[in-house]
Amino acid sequence: MGWFGRAERGFALGVRQMAVPLGGAAGALSLPLAARLGGLDAALLVLAAGCALGAAAAALWIREPPPAPADRPKVDAPPPLRDLRVWRLAAGSALIVCAQTAILAFLVLFLHDERGVPPELAAGALATIQLGGGLARLVAGRRSDRRGRRIAPVRRLALATVAALAGVAALTTAPLVLLLPVLLTAGVLAMSWNGLSLTATAEISGRAQAGTAMGLAGTVMRLPASGIGVAFGALVASTSWSLAFAALAALPLAGWALLAPLEPEEERRIAAREARRAKIAAASRPQERAATA
């Protein structure tokens, strides 16, 4: 992210966040084939090879970002662990990410066991969601950069995910030609917002505290995500797929509501940042005139 300016942070994190769904798509496409040709051992070896390639790529290309410009205004923010804004953003994101986790975990099982889709085609649907979600992160990041806003787009994407999941709940027994487009749309929407949330977290805390803030956000987001698979599976077993998808839609809806106060707060931060920039620019003009005199 250090190679990008402030106006391109959303796109930069979208690029980084795209790597995860790309890896997921590669796994969805390659692992069933490897298991079919060589059994479980072959599939595990493919995973090991992917890890080795990732380690080599990290050694070659991951570098520290360049230092911040000396005239960049510093963000006046409390430590992330004591910043209620960071905690609210992390908690809201944790609720929204549950939809993403459950869809990725149960998509193939639902299509294969419940709807009779062959494993290869079900894996192809998972790969489609991963690729579509990765591209959606880039698009969301670019649009967010152009508008200079992070929280509002996250909330809109969360609400769109709610609507798509409600559609999936209504169509679980419908013909696949009706169900699949809605299910794939729900998966792509559920994966599209992560980069914006992390960008907002970094901007709230500032560059000097971004690592701590993003680490906190990632930890909080993983807590409910680690249990949503068990809860979703238990709900399916005790009720139905339709009711489970309907219940799942309630979580990003709660996240959407929890993030609401951060929208006006973001507007205040943007106004304060622009005022600091204007003050720095005004202070530097006399020095520039004196230097050229």
Tell me if 137 sits within 8 A of 191, measured CB to CB: yes
Name the nearest CA neighbour of 180 among 111, 105, 97. Answer: 111
What confidence score (pLDDT) does residue 3 get? 36
Name the nearest CA neighbour of 47 among 17, 62, 26. Answer: 26
Residue 104, amino acid = L
Domains of the chain: 6-60+80-281 (1.20.1250.20)
What confidence score (pLDDT) does residue 271 get? 86
What confidence score (pLDDT) does residue 175 get? 96
Helix ranges (H only) for 110-261 are 119-147, 151-171, 176-191, 194-205, 210-238, 241-258
Measured CA to CA, the distance from residue 157 to residue 88 in angstroms comes to 17
What confidence score (pLDDT) does residue 115 get? 95
Question: Mean pLDDT across the stretch 135-155?
Answer: 91
pLDDT greater at residue 132 or residue 29: 132
pLDDT greater at residue 12 or residue 118: 118
What confidence score (pLDDT) does residue 9 get? 55
**CB neighbour class for 111 (10 Å; exposed up to 12, middle 13-18, buried from 19):** buried
Share of the chain above pLDDT 90, in %: 51
Tell me if 195 sits within 8 A of 135, measured CB to CB: no
Tokens representing 219 are 């930890």
Who's near 290: CB < 8 A, 6+ residues apart?
Answer: none
What confidence score (pLDDT) does residue 4 get? 41
Q: 2-36, pLDDT tens digit by residue? A: 434 444 454 555 455 556 667 766 777 777 778 87
Q: 153-212, pLDDT tens digit by residue? A: 999 999 999 999 999 999 999 999 999 999 999 999 999 998 899 999 999 988 888 889
Question: Mean pLDDT across the stretch 26-48?
Answer: 81
Who's near 61: CB < 8 A, 6+ residues apart?
Answer: none
